[in-house]
Structure 1
Amino acid sequence: MADQDTVITKKRKGPAPTGKGVLVGVRLQPADLAALESWIAAQEDEPTRPEAVRKLMRLGMTAQGT
């Protein structure tokens, strides 16, 4: 007979959570997406799209002194 004290856990789908924050969804037109992909390819660490958007946002705010 099976052990009745066995707990079955379900695996979560998708990547592990990276932290708490607000999700901001952005749609990019083909030209903007191509420019983003080109920028990513030019970086040494080749960041993911979300990380590239965060880096570009920070660069833009730093350039404006924000």
Structure 2
Amino acid sequence: MSKQEKTITKNRRGRPATGLGILIGVRLQPDLLAWLDEERAKLDPAPSRPEMIRAILERAKG
């Protein structure tokens, strides 16, 4: 008899890849980051930082 092969895939952490869009990294100064967190806290449920930044950009876009 031959051995059975098992394929084990590990779960990936974080948000699933969409395959769309370009990843950018942004560094924020402490005062701007504090403002962002204050604005997030006003919403229920509070969005994540990336979600909040996307929402702000969408509003600015018009």
* TM-score, L = length of structure 2: 0.80
Structure 1 stretches lacking a partner, 5+ long: none
Change (3 A) 1:43 1:30: same
Note the 1:1-66 alignment, pairs <5 A: 4-20=3-19, 21-62=21-62
Q: What value does the CA root-mean-square deviation take over the aligned residues?
A: 1.7
- Runs of 4+ in structure 1 deviating by more than 3 angstroms, as ranges, are none
Change (3 A) 1:43 1:16: closer
Residue identity (%): 32
Q: How many residues align?
A: 60
Deviations 1:23-63 (A, max 9, x none): 1111000000000000100112210000000000011111x
CA distance in 1: counterparts of 2:34 and 2:55, whole angstroms: 17
Q: Secondary structure at the residue paired with 1:5?
A: coil
Q: Secondary structure at the residue paired with 2:34?
A: helix
